[in-house]
Structure 1
Amino acid sequence: MSNTIAASEYGRLLLEKRPLIDVRAPIEFNKGAFPESVNLPLMNDRERQLVGTCYKQEGQQAAITLGHQLVSGDIKQSRIDAWCEQVHQHNHSYLYCFRGGLRSQLSQQWLQHAGIDIPYIYGGYKALRSFLISTIEQAESNHHFLILSGSTGSGKTEFIHQRKETIDLEGLANHRGSSFGKQITSQPSQINFENNLGVALLKYQQVKPSSKLLLEDESFLIGRTAIPQPFFKAMQQAPVVLLEEAFNARVDRLHGEYVSNMHQQYCTLLGEVEGFNAFAAYLVDSISKIRKRLGGKQHDELQGLIQQALKQQQNQHNLDGHYAWISQLLSKYYDPMYLYQLDKKLTKVIFKGNATEVHQWLNEQI
C-alpha cells in the first residue's frame, strides 16, 4: 500500500493535533472539517462542479481528463506551491480528500514530484468522520454520565470549568444555551460541532478512561446546534446533581453575562456607538425569541423594561436598570420552567448543594 494513514491510526492523529491538509473543494470544507485542518483544495468549487457533471454524463475517465485540463499549468503549480508552503511550516502534515481516493492520490503524487512525501488518510474525510461519530455513540459505554443541573444563573458553566472530569458542550457549541445565550461570534456548523465533540471525547478517554463524565444539563438544541441523539439520550437517562444558588446571586451573574460582558464585547468589536446598537438589538431579539412562551402581556412588560434600561444606559452610562428585567425574567419565566422540568427528573437526583458542597461531593465520588 502507498504512503497512507490506516484507520487504526485515526485516534492517534487526532490526539496529536496532527496538521491536516484538506484538499476537498471549499464548499465541502465549509460544511465540516476537522480540528487542525486547513483547506488547500485540489479543485475549487467551479472546477469540482464541472468534473462532477462530466463524470455523470461521460464517465470516470472523461472526468479525470477534464480535471487535468482544468488544473494544469500555472493553476496546478499554484496549488502545489500552497501545499509545499504548508508542509514546510508544518512538516508533520497529513492530507485527505473525501474518500481517500483519486484526489488524495493525485495530490500526494504531485507533492512527491516536488520532493515532498507525506501520507494521506486512508478512507479520507468520510472514514475519519465515521470514526468520530462512532466515538460519540460509544461514549455512554465508556463512561458513566453525570448531569449537573440547576436554575438559570446558578453558575453551572462556571462550575464545569473548575472541574477536570467534564466536557463543555456549550463551549463546543459557542452558545450559552438560553434564549440570551448567543455569542458575538457565530456557532460552528453542526458537523464541526460533532467532530469537535468526538475529539473532546477522545482526549477525555485518554486522560480518564472508564471514569465519570460530568456534563451540564442541556436541551437537545444549544442555540441552533443539536446534541447527537445517542449522546443526548444517554444524558437524559443519567443521574443528576443539583447546583443551588441564591436568587440575588443568580441575578448578578446573569447581569454580568447578558449585560456587562456582552455590551463590552460588542463595543470592543464595533466601537461605542455601533456596539451599543448591536447590544440593544441582541437584547430585543433574545426576548422576542420566547414571546410565545412568555405570552404577549409578559413579553411586552419585559420588552418595556429592557427599553427603559437601554435608555438609562445610553443617557446615564449606567447598567443598573437591567437588573429589573433580569429579575422578572428569572422569577416569572426561567424559574417556573426549571421547576417544571426538575419535577420530571426528581427521581434521578442523587445530590444537591451549593458550589462548595457539590465540589466536595464530587471529589469524594470521582
Structure 2
Amino acid sequence: MDSIRPDSDEFRRILLNDIPLLDVRAPVEYNEGSFPAAVNKPLLDDEQRRLIGTEYKQQGQDAAIVLGNKLATRDVHQQRIDSWLPIVDANPAGYLYCFRGGLRSRISQQWLKEAGRNYPFIKGGYKAMRRFLIDEQQRVAEQSPMLRINGLTGTAKTRMIEQLANGVDLEGIANHRGSAFGRRPAGQPEQINFENNLSIDFLKREAAGATSFILEDEGVMVGRCNVPLPLRSTMDIGPVAVVDMGFDERIENLRQDYIYDSISEYEDFYGAELGLAEFGKSLLASLERIVKRLGHERYGKMKVLLEQAVAAGDIGRTDELLTAVMAGLMQEYYDPMYEYQLQKKLDKMVFRGSWQEVKEYAESWQG
C-alpha cells in the first residue's frame, strides 16, 4: 500500500506547481469551472448527483447517503475505481477534490484505499481553492502597479506582452484576439476558467519575481470573457504607453496574425479541406456582428470582398482580398475608434514611441 500523504489546503503550492488534480465532481460542475491541471472522473454522473441532491434537500443527509449507497452498485463502484487508478498511479503527487471537500471526497478516498491506494484530497474542495484564487486576484489588482500598452490595430501589442517577463496576456488566456474578428476555432474558456487561469498566471509571475505587471489596454470584455472587476478598476486608472507604427507595417502584422496564422489554426482544428471554408464563415459572421457600427453601405462592400476571398480557393487571391478588407476596416472603422478612445486617456499617457521603444520602456518600468 502507498505511503500516506496528508490532505492539503496548500493551494498556492498546488497551483503554482501544476500538481495534478482528480476532480470527482459531476460533469456539469466541472464544465462550469475547474483548474488547468484537473482531470474530471466523477464519482456521481449528472443524473445521480441530481437524484441525491434532491434526496438531501427533502429527506436530509442520512437519506442521501442511503440513496448513494443504493446507486453505487458493484458495477458502478468498479467503473469508478477503474477510471481513477490510471490517473492516481500516473500522478502519485496529486490530489483529488469534490465541491466542498466533504462526503464525495471521503467516499472517493475510501474506495481508492480499498483498492490499495492512499490518495489525499483538497481540504475545502473546489470551493475553497476557487475562493483562494478570487482573493488573490483582488490582492494583486489592489497592490500591484500595472502599465497598459495601447496602440492602433496591428501594432503587435500582444507580441510585446508575450515577450515581457511580467506581461500578462489577457487575449491568450481568453483564447481570443480581442477584436470583432478575434474568434479562434477552439473557442473560449468558460468565464470561471478564464478567471482561474488569469489568477494563476499572476501568481506564477509573482513567484518568478514580478512586482508590477504589463497588460494590453483591453476593454471590459475579451471576446465573451469578462475582465474581473478588481483588475478592470486598476487598469482603468493605470498609466498608458502608446505604440506608434506605420500603416504598412501594421497591415503586415495583421496579415500574419489574421490571415496566415488564423488559416493555419482553422486547418489544424477542422482539417485541411474544411479549414479555409470554416475560416471564411467565421470572418463573415464577425463582419455581420459590426454591421450597425459600419453602416450598411460599408458593410455591403466589405461583405462582397469577403465572399470573393472565401470563394477564391487560392491563398494568394484570398490574401489579396482579405488585405483589402483589413485596410478598409482599419481606415474607416478601427483607427477612428481607437483614436477617439485614446483621446480620453491622454492624461494617463506616460510614454509614446515605436514598438521597440515602448518595449524597452515597459521592461524598465517599475510603477
TM over 0.5: yes
Query: What are the superposed Cα offsets for residues 274-323 of structure 1, whole Å, 9 maximum, x if unpaired?
Result: 22321211111111111111111121122122233334454975521222
Report the AA paired with residue 83 of structure 1.
W
Name the counterpart of 2:218: 218
The question of whether the paired residues in 1 share the 8 Å contact of 2:214 and 2:362 is answered with no
- What one-letter code is carried by the residue in structure 2 that aligns with 1:240? V
* C-alpha distance in structure 1 between counterparts of 2:143 and 2:234, whole Å: 12
Query: Structure 1: which amino acid aligns with 2:241?
Result: V
- CA separation in 1, counterparts of 2:262 and 2:77? 46
CA distance in 2, matches of 1:97, 1:354: 50
* Cα deviation code 1:99-133 (max 9, x no counterpart): 11111111111212222112111111011000001
Aligned partner of residue 351 in structure 1, secondary structure: strand
Secondary structure in structure 2 of the residue aligned to 1:146: strand
Indicate conservation of the 8 Å contact 1:312/1:319, yes or no. Answer: no
What amino acid sits opposite 2:297 in the alignment? K
Give the stretch that moved more between structures: 140-149 or 240-249. Answer: 140-149
| Alpha-carbon distance change, 191 to 311 in structure 1, aligned in 2, over 3 angstroms | same
Contact 1:148 1:215 in 2 (8 A): yes
Cross-structure match for 2:356:
356
Task: Tell me the CA shift for residue 46 of structure 1.
Answer: 1.1
Letter in 2 for 1:37: A
Q: Could you say which residue in structure 2 is the equivalent of 1:227?
A: 227
CA distance in 2, matches of 1:77, 1:271: 38
* Higher mean C-alpha displacement, 190-199 vs 78-87: 78-87
| Cα distance in 1 for residues equivalent to 2:143 and 2:206 | 8
Which secondary structure does the structure 2 equivalent of 1:122 belong to? Answer: coil
Tell me, yes or no, if the aligned pair for 1:5 and 1:119 is still in contact at 8 Å: yes
- 2:287 — aligned with what? 287
Note if contact 1:313-1:319 (Cα within 8 Å) is conserved in structure 2: no
Aligned letter for 1:306?
Answer: L
Is residue 2:7 matched to residue 1:4?
Answer: yes
Q: Distance in 2 between matches of 1:133 and 1:233?
A: 15
Large movers: runs of 4+ above 4 Å: 311-318
Residue equivalent to 1:144: 145
Matched, 1:244 2:244: yes
1:273–1:20 distance in 2 versus 1, CA, 3 Å: closer
- Counting only pairs closer than 5 Å after superposition, residues 152-231 of structure 1 correspond to structure 2 as 152-209=153-210, 211-231=211-231
Q: Is the alpha carbon distance of 1:318 and 1:179 closer, same or farther for their aligned partners in structure 2, counting shifts above 3 Å?
A: closer
Distance 1:71 1:237 in 2: 55
Query: For residues 315 and 64 of structure 1, do their structure 2 counterparts lie closer, same or farther at Cα, with a shift above 3 Å needed?
Result: closer
After superposition, the C-alpha distances for 1:5-47 in whole angstroms (9 at most, x for unaligned) are 13xx110111111111111011100111011101111111111
Distance 1:192 1:174 in 2: 11
State the SS of the aligned residue for 1:321.
helix
SS in 2 for 1:183: coil
2: CA distance, partners of 1:311 / 1:47? 49
1:332 maps to a residue whose letter is: E
- Number of aligned residue pairs: give it: 362
Question: Secondary structure of the residue that 2:352 maps to in structure 1?
Answer: strand
CA contact (8 A) 2:185 2:266 kept: yes
**RMSD over equivalenced CA pairs, Å:** 1.7
Quote the residue 2:86 is aligned against.
Answer: 85
Cα distance in structure 2, aligned partners of 1:39 and 1:272 = 31
| C-alpha deviation, 1:273, in angstroms | 4.2
How far, CA to CA, are the matches of 2:264 and 2:41 in structure 1? 36
Looking at structure 2, the residues matched to 102 and 318 of structure 1 have their Cα atoms a distance apart, in angstroms, of 58
State the partner residue of 1:116.
117
Q: Which whole-Å CA distance do the structure 1 matches of 2:179 and 2:116 have between them? A: 53
TM-score (norm 1): 0.95
User: Which one-letter code corresponds to 2:222 in the other structure?
Assistant: I
2:132 alignment counterpart = 131
User: What's 1:308 paired with?
Assistant: 308
For the 8 Å contact 1:251–1:327, the answer to whether it is kept is yes
Counterparts of 2:266 and 2:202, CA distance in 1: 33
Gaps of 5+ in 2: none
Compare 56-65 and 305-314 and name the one that shifted more: 305-314
- Which residue in the other structure is 2:298 paired with? 298
Q: Map of 1:32-43 to 2, 5 A cutoff? A: 32-43=33-44
Q: Give the counterpart letter for 2:326 in structure 1.
A: I
Counterpart residue type for residue 244 of structure 2: E
CA distance in 1, matches of 2:152, 2:45: 48
Matched, 1:276 2:279: no
SS at 2:148 equivalent? strand
Structure 1 gap segments, 5+ residues each: none
CA distance in 2, matches of 1:317, 1:347: 44
Letter in 2 for 1:213: F
After TM superposition, the structure 1 stretch with the greater mean CA deviation from structure 2, 134-143 or 65-74, is 134-143
Over the matched positions of the two proteins, sequence identity in percent amounts to 42
Instruction: Report the Cα offset of residue 352 of structure 1.
Output: 0.7
Answer with 136-145 or 163-172: which moved more: 136-145
